[in-house]
Structure 1
Amino acid sequence: MSVDADIDALAARDLLASAAREAGVVALEYFRPGARTSAQVETKVGGSPVTAADLAADSLLKRRLLDALPEAGWLSEETIDDFERLGRRSLIVVDPIDGTRAFVIGDPHWAVSAALIVDGRPIAGVVHAPALDETYAAARGGGATFNGAPLAAAAGWPPRAAAGPKPIIQAMAAKLGSPIEITPRVPSLAYRLCMAALGAVDFAVAAENSHDWDIAAADLLLEEAGARLIDGSGEPLLYNARQVRRGALLAASAAAPPGLIEAFRAAISWRPN
């Protein structure tokens, strides 16, 4: 498949889904529901954990996806970024285990996240939660699915349920003047954003310092489900830049009233540049 010459979003989605499921099988070999992982665990610079399962899944994804998409660049949480990707039109973005802390302690809310970026935006994305047997998949113009069924984001107003950091959501609720039920902490950010695409919550929030590998696949899933992922500017996110760390983000239905974005901006103290 040559994405630069002939972009096929549906084929790319299917490729990502197949690879993500294979990576999930690898990770599950080390996963122990309700108990500590059998994988060796180390601490990366910055204090976050990495396991042998992360590295094994990352290696599989890199081999599988770059073999199929040799013209694409590569960006992964578990691979050193050499910025060679910046000269490429297309980019594969993966997080082999999003929610490693959950994985380590036996919490099933972790996911394999994979996206294909072309010209700065995702055209295919998959978030696969192996321990929950859940797969979210999307192709640009081809819709979004959850285990094969169409996805549609919630569009109710006022919002009644949300997922994300409690202080931000409480501040938004105060601004909106409406009580909002906060979902218990979801360790995987990709999975949390998918909850908004699924309509399980009215909106989801990511605190600042998320990275492109956490969000790229879910971004497209949200868009194809009738929602959007934005920062305080309200504009769509662009990918394959040198900086991959993000500020606070909001995932909500594209039909949500402007008041929701205004409440989000107030909660994160956002100011225009």
Structure 2
Amino acid sequence: MPAPEDDLALLEQAARAAGRIALEFWRQDPKSWEKPDDAGPVSEADLAVNEELHSILVGARPDYGWLSEESEADPARLDAQNCFIVDPIDGTRAFIAGQQGFSHSLAVARGDRIVAAVVYLPVSDLFYTAFADGPALLNGAPIAPSDHPIRDARVLTYRAAAEPRHWRGNTPPGFRREFRTSLAWRLCLAAEGKFDAALSLRAAWEWDIAAGSLIAERAGAAVTDRRGQRMRFNSPRAMVDGLIVAGPRLHGELQAALRS
């Protein structure tokens, strides 16, 4: 069985290839359309990147399962000891609009745990990596979360998460809400301390958060679902019950402030 470091090297190679393809389409008015059931937009670039990732990753590890936002569900992944979990382009709306804040999110799950992860933003050449028991790195340099308390913390989340109904005493805590389109990048920004936390009270697709969750964990952040439970991956639903990613102190304060 390949070591997590070897899987990480493969993910890095695939992420670079994904970036090259995405940049060929970026700001070139790629064809795009809405998925059924209000599942969001997809572009021809998403599909081209997905095809390349599948070719590189499954070509190198044919016994690994495959879970991707842009592939048909394959139940065989549930019986695989290892599984690739990828989002070919996370932040497709930003990509279609010609904005820079999209990423490629690639991870390997061993059982229900992530053991290797890459989040790559090709426009700005930001390359986040981590593997099990290893450091979290940004372009080769170690990263760490902030130690900010909840008051005036900069929290990456969507507008509805700050509504009083979600918080004890009907009063949202005094954090400052900000937003980035790519959920994978939000986790990495919390991991490197540029923001103090990433928060979602909605169920999140595994392909959006698998890579970022390991990067944040290896950076030293506390990483759980919205109820404070350990995240588990390659599940039948391919979803996690929300997320709280922050330095240990802020994570505890956010968890205590949320309604159960």
TM-score, scaled relative to structure 2: 0.92
Report the alpha carbon displacement of residue 241 of structure 1 after superposing the two structures with TM.
Answer: 1.4
What corresponds to 1:78 in structure 2?
70
User: Structure 2, unaligned stretches of length 5 or more?
Assistant: none
* Distance (Å, rounded) in 2 between the aligned partners of 1:76 and 1:255: 33
* Distance (Å, rounded) in 2 between the aligned partners of 1:59 and 1:69: 15
Q: Which runs of 4+ in 1 moved over 6 A?
A: 173-177
2:119, 2:185 within 8 Å by CA — same for their partners in 1?
yes
Q: Give the residue type in structure 2 aligned to 1:31.
A: W
What corresponds to 2:213 in structure 1?
219
Report the alpha carbon displacement of residue 107 of structure 1 after superposing the two structures with TM.
Answer: 1.1
What corresponds to 2:141 in structure 1?
149
* Alignment of structure 1 residues 40-51 onto 2, 5 Å: 40-47=31-38, 48-51=40-43
Equivalent position SS for 1:195 = helix
Report the alpha carbon displacement of residue 161 of structure 1 after superposing the two structures with TM.
Answer: 1.0
Report the alpha carbon displacement of residue 157 of structure 1 after superposing the two structures with TM.
Answer: 2.0
2:12, 2:118 within 8 Å by CA — same for their partners in 1?
yes
Q: Give the residue type in structure 1 aligned to 2:33.
A: E
What corresponds to 2:161 in structure 1?
168
What are the superposed Cα offsets for residues 112-166 of structure 1, whole Å, 9 maximum, x if unpaired? 0000000110000000011121111101111101111101011222452111113
* Alignment of structure 1 residues 22-101 onto 2, 5 Å: 22-32=17-27, 37-47=28-38, 48-101=40-93
CA distance 1:158–1:259, shift in 2 (3 Å): closer
1:143, 1:150 within 8 Å by CA — same for their partners in 2?
yes
What's the Cα RMSD here? 1.9
What corresponds to 1:181 in structure 2?
176
TM-score, scaled relative to structure 1: 0.88
Report the alpha carbon displacement of residue 70 of structure 1 after superposing the two structures with TM.
Answer: 1.6
Report the alpha carbon displacement of residue 74 of structure 1 after superposing the two structures with TM.
Answer: 0.2
What are the superposed Cα offsets for residues 69-112 of structure 1, whole Å, 9 maximum, x if unpaired? 12110000000012110111100000000010110011111100
Correspondence 1:206 to 2:200: yes
What corresponds to 1:243 in structure 2?
237
* Distance (Å, rounded) in 2 between the aligned partners of 1:175 and 1:223: 30
Q: Give the residue type in structure 2 aligned to 1:93.
A: I
1:163, 1:192 within 8 Å by CA — same for their partners in 2?
yes
Equivalent position SS for 1:168 = helix
CA distance 1:102–1:155, shift in 2 (3 Å): same
Instruction: Please identify, of 163-172 and 124-133, the stretch whose mean Cα deviation from structure 2 is larger.
Output: 163-172
Equivalent position SS for 1:218 = helix
* Distance (Å, rounded) in 2 between the aligned partners of 1:88 and 1:156: 40
What is the percentage of aligned positions where both structures have the same residue? 34
Q: Give the residue type in structure 2 aligned to 1:188.
A: S
* Distance (Å, rounded) in 2 between the aligned partners of 1:93 and 1:241: 11
Report the alpha carbon displacement of residue 256 of structure 1 after superposing the two structures with TM.
Answer: 3.6
Q: Give the residue type in structure 2 aligned to 1:165.
A: Y
